Structure 1
């Protein structure tokens, strides 16, 4: 197995290769406005570091969000294009699951919540029984609306850090953004154990930030 994992659901543009036993190469850069510019060079660097060509990849996994519209689609379109060109399977994972898994690798135990920045003064979030087990569907809400239902839970992720007053026990030292290495390790584990994956349909959870004006006039040539 040579699994290529990538994610652009958070400000991190992150890519990793996993050989079924371990992460063999990883590249992550944090820039919320340059996903499209940074992703393919990151893939090239990871392949070069691992000493492989793209055609050696046997599996692809991609974080399907939730995330902002523009950034999220960059990763999904790239992953599905690679899969089609290579004729290999592509599988989706909730991006919040990757952050949860990374938090578990960093030593977090017990029930907790992952929250990422959704902009518009909102967070994408989900609740976990442990680092491998999500117990709620991903959602988007204002942090203040989560104070009571998530009271007492440890919180990780950039959204939790940004709106620390809305959460009980924020752990800023734990992963804030996605790590493709963690996503790849989670995917490899699920492949070994027959775990479930998601379709590569983006989890936007709300309409795109950019909208066509209500009174936009379409002009067609005569």
Structure 2
């Protein structure tokens, strides 16, 4: 089964700010939408940067010269004077480039990028590089909630397609962890099955105990 695309898990409704959005409005958006970061878009709707709550706080503190009094509301309630908000705009608060991912990209690819993005979110773009959604770490975790019987049924299909009918492979699934037992003719077939199972949504780990009669991977050098 093909891996889910990012578009299947992303959130389409999201807040964003423009390059000239005043800092006061940026703070208001972060608090009102209860998010850790906002994308900054240009006049064509393309994400060009990202503003995090911590970066916003740091920049405004530095520019205002006042080290205290900006955050009070579960760690993030901002007070920015008119002088401060006029002095700082989104383009000064943002980091560039924005962490983006194409809507058609596999979720597995996006997950790797989420790990390195550092803000727990990727901004999803279409083929024109326009912002259409956001993928958070929580979104990427959703497929892991798939029920074990569903995972088991898909694995059985994978095994039946890859293994010759004269060989029997036992499959067990518990809390997303898969165990494979049995014997096959070739080492390469056992390896192919393991790789295919790892790509199945909801699989957290594969314990491959499949034996084989011929180590063709050693013979061929693969």
Give the TM-score, by structure 2 length.
0.27
Instruction: Report which structure shows greater RCO (CA 8 Å, sep ≥6).
Output: 1
Give the TM-score, by structure 1 length.
0.27
